């Protein structure tokens, strides 16, 4: 509490000394429009398209909204968005994402359109992207398998990175200090600490950009040096210390006809897990989980004529995940490598992506986009069976037909050759947009989806003290059918208002999920669920009025599944199990003191999930639930000088740490019965950001 009062005092002192420059405040007001109705989207489009003209319903989170949240990773931005939920693996120190009732394996994560790779089923890659390099996040719900292939069943999250600004030279820096629960020590040890430095340059078509970020999270309730096994069991080593070094660079050239650029991103992450101290031998097993990831991409667009444009992407990703365990002797200070199961391991994953498209405009009413895509995935390591690879080759084509000024139709199809699975002969989609009047738009769509099992699901065996996960080489490919619809009302003038009512219905066949091994019920493996359905709807509203922007959203999402096609089991039902959500984002700018206040809130209702267990050798499927909770962040951003901003605030206002669960047994690879850890508690934030431009 004293830390919070100190942060607020700092803010008001600075505010009192800076209540001037009203003209600058007016500029600030324009910039803080966190969700402008005129924003441009690129995901799934032939070329950059306004939000209203897009055939797909797309959500946008722009850089200003990210900045006002004082976020240090993507999860902190998405956790108050409708349909998003995150779960934590407390043993490994990682998290996973869910979207609209589907797990992370069905969510396609893209970095500038290039697929991100992950070691396991959790989408760790989402939090290994430098938050300071992000220009905006585009979210398209529902299958985009025609455009983006496998994994895009639940939707696509496309992280769009920053480009060099118009000015000749830009320098930017950021430092942020954050308490972790009730723990904090300035700039080191306890708490969370962020430092960032970046620069960009642009002249005569050439541009360059680079940045480096250091994130240092020192854990919470971490085990002390001489913690006993009983203390570990009593919830001491919950939130693992994590240190990240994130770097990126971009070099590009742009002319009237040609736009080409190269980008590299690098992540070095170390998670520390201290084992329990054994007082009999004065030793403990300490582990480090080390991730090294780099992604390279070369992209280009060339306009041959006013009617024909060619685009290409060449991407390469390399991921190495190392587990290093040592037996630490506290009596001598010496360390030696331990020999337990899974305590020494190196796993490597590589992915090459090639994508080429042509955008041909036959007339003002009719356009075509044919394209080819090749994905080559490989892996190796002690936990991986052999050195497997999966190659995926695809040809896709779509067209956009403007039937009238108010009707747009986009049919599409994808043809796939997979080196492991027989893909469907064709994957079709049909999206339509109707402009009913100057304010009202209707979108209706159908899409088929196909997802081949990933290497990690087929060949990756993960065994350690807390995990027993067996890969399954007999998995079948997932297929889906999705129906979506939305009605959008937009009104612009002295105020901007946007309201969207949407609904979806998805059916999945052979959905991949965790289950129990038939030969050994103590081992978790991957199985095909014969039937799985999700349905639901959202109601989202955004109002921008002078210095105020406020949004309010509601969603209601249901899931239904059956683990066998021909015989019901305990816990099964043809009824949907439903989850409600409510969110709101409020931003207000005080022009006179050049200050912006942002409040982000979300209520997450009880979430049902199906759990597969064995009782006396009999398979049982039970419907369990996690409890409801509310989360909120409040941040205040204050312009001190022309190039310097101060931000202070509170994250996790309601101090939520765990949520209840009716599960009493392990029903998935990363979950256990009892309360589920959600957060380490309320935290207080203070930071400075510097942004300087020279023309």
Tell whether the model's pLDDT for residue 95 goes beyond 60: yes
What is the pLDDT at residue 517? 62
Q: What is the 3-state secondary structure (H, E, C) of 351-415?
A: EEEEEEEEEEECCCCEEEEEEEEEEEEEEEECCECCCCEEEEEEEEEEEEEEEECCEEEEEEEEE
Q: Picking from 112-126, 186-200, 314-328, 342-356, which range would have the lowest pLDDT averaged per residue?
A: 112-126
pLDDT band for 149, please (50, 70, 90 cuts). Answer: confident
Quick one: pLDDT band at residue 290, thresholds 50, 70, 90? very high
SS3 call for 458: helix
Domain ranges of the chain: 2-694
> What share of the chain in percent tops pLDDT 70?
84
Q: What is the mean pLDDT of residues 379-397?
A: 84
Structure tokens at 391: 């190659």
Name the more confident of 17 and 549.
549
Digit-coded pLDDT (tens) for 38-77: 678 888 888 888 888 888 888 999 999 999 999 999 999 9
- Residue 565 is predicted with a pLDDT of 42
pLDDT score recorded for residue 28: 38
Report residue 498's pLDDT band, with 50, 70 and 90 as the boundaries. Answer: very high
* Amino acid 621: pLDDT: 67
The answer, yes or no, to whether residue 195 has pLDDT greater than 80, is yes
pLDDT at 402 over 70: yes
**Could you tell me how many residues make up the chain?**
695
Superfamily name with CATH number, domain 2-694: TonB-dependent receptor, beta-barrel domain (2.40.170.20)
Contact residues for 183 (Cβ-Cβ < 8 A; gap 6+) = 190, 191, 218, 220
The pLDDT value recorded for residue 589 is: 95
Q: Do the strands 468-470 and 524-545 form a parallel or antiparallel pair, or are they unpaired?
A: parallel
C-alpha–C-alpha distance, residues 262 and 546, integer Å: 40
- Cα–Cα distance between 220 and 182 in angstroms, integer? 9
**Higher-scoring residue by pLDDT: 425, 63:** 63
541 pLDDT above the threshold of 70: yes
Q: Mean pLDDT throughout 326-339?
A: 83
pLDDT tens across 612-648, in order? 666 666 666 677 788 999 999 999 999 999 899 999 9
pLDDT(18) > 60 = no
What pLDDT band is residue 483 in, cutting at 50, 70 and 90? very high
pLDDT (0 to 100) of residue 340 = 74
Task: Name the helix (H) or strand (E) containing 349.
Answer: strand 344-361
- Report the alpha-carbon distance of residue 249 to residue 83 in Å, rounded: 32
pLDDT exceeds 60 at position 27: no
Pairing of the two strands 335-337 and 308-329: antiparallel
114-118, 141-145, 298-302: which is most confident: 298-302
Within 8 A by CB and 6+ apart from 642, the residues are: 24
Whole-number average pLDDT of the chain: 83
Q: Which residue has the higher pLDDT, 29 or 115?
A: 115
Report pLDDT digits (tens) over 666-692: 444 444 456 788 888 899 999 999 999
Locate the DSSP E strands across 517-655: 524-545, 548-562, 577-590, 595-604, 607-615, 618-626, 629-641, 644-651
Least confident of 200-209, 527-536, 591-600, 630-639: 527-536
């Amino acid at each position: 509490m004293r830390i919070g009062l100190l942060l607020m005092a700092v803010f008001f002192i600075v505010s009192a000394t800076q209540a001037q420059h009203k003209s600058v405040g007016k500029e600030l007001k324009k910039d803080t429009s966190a969700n402008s109705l005129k924003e441009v989207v690129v995901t799934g489009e032939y070329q950059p398209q306004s939000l209203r003209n897009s055939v797909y319903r797309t959500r946008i989170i722009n850089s200003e909204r990210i900045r006002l949240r004082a976020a240090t990773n993507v999860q902190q931005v998405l956790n108050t968005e409708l349909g998003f939920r995150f779960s934590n693996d407390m043993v490994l120190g990682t998290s996973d994402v869910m979207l609209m009732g589907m797990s992370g394996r069905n969510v396609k994560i893209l970095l500038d359109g290039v697929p991100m790779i992950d070691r396991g089923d959790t989408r760790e890659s989402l939090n290994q992207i430098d938050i300071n390099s992000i220009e905006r996040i585009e979210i398209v719900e529902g299958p985009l398998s025609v455009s983006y292939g496998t994994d895009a069943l639940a939707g696509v999250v496309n992280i769009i990175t920053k480009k060099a600004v118009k000015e000749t030279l830009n320098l930017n820096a950021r430092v942020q200090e954050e308490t972790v629960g009730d723990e904090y020590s300035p700039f080191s040890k306890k708490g969370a600490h962020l430092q960032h430095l970046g620069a960009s340059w642009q002249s005569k078509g050439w541009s360059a950009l680079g940045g480096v970020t250091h994130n240092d999270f020192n854990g919470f309730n971490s085990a002390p040096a001489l913690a006993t096994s009983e203390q570990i069991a009593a919830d001491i080593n919950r939130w693992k210390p994590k240190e990240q070094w994130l770097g990126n660079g971009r070099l590009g050239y742009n002319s009237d006809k040609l736009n080409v650029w190269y980008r590299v991103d690098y992540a070095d992450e170390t998670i520390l897990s201290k084992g329990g101290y054994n007082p009999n031998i004065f030793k403990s097993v300490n582990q480090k989980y080390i991730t090294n990831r780099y992604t390279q991409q070369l992209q280009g667009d060339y306009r041959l004529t006013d009617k024909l444009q060619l685009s290409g992407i060449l991407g390469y990703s390399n991921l190495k995940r190392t587990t290093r365990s040592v037996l630490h002797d506290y009596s001598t200070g010496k360390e030696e490598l331990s020999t337990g199961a899974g305590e020494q391991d190196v796993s490597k994953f590589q992915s090459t992506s090639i994508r080429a498209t042509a955008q041909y405009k036959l007339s003002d009413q009719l356009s075509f986009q044919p394209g080819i895509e090749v994905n080559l995935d490989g892996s190796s390591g002690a936990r991986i069976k052999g050195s497997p690879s999966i190659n995926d080759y695809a040809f896709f084509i779509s067209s956009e037909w403007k039937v009238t000024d108010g009707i747009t139709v986009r049919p599409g199809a994808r043809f796939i050759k997979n080196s492991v699975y027989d893909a469907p002969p064709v994957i079709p989609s049909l999206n339509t947009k109707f402009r009913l009047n100057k304010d009202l738009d209707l979108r209706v769509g159908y899409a088929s989806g196909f997802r081949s099992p990933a290497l990690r699901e087929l060949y990756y065996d993960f065994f350690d003290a807390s995990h027993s996960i067996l890969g399954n080489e007999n998995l079948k490919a997932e297929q889906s059918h999705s129906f979506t619809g939305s009605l959008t009302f937009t009104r612009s003038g002295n105020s901007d208002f946007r309201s969207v009512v949407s609904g979806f219905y998805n059916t999945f066949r052979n959905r991949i999920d965790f289950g129990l091994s038939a030969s050994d019920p103590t081992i978790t493996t991957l199985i095909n669920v014969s039937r799985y359905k999700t349905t639901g709807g959202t109601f989202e509203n955004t109002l921008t009025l002078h210095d105020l922007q406020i949004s309010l959203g509601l969603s209601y999402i249901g899931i239904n599944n059956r683990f066998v096609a021909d015989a019901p089991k305990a816990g099964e039902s043809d009824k949907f199990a439903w989850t409600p959500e409510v969110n709101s984002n409020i931003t207000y700018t005080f022009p006179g003191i050049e200050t912006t206040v942002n409040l982000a809130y979300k209520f997450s209702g009880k979430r049902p999930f199906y759990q597969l267990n064995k009782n006396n050798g009999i398979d049982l499927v039970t419907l369990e639930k996690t409890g409801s909770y509310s989360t909120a962040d409040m941040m205040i951003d204050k312009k001190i000088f022309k190039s310097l901003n101060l931000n202070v605030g509170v994250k996790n206002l309601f101090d939520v740490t765990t949520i209840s669960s009716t599960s009493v047994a392990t029903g998935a690879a990363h979950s256990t019965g009892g309360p589920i850890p959600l957060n380490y508690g309320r935290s207080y934030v203070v930071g400075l950001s510097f942004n300087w431009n020279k023309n």
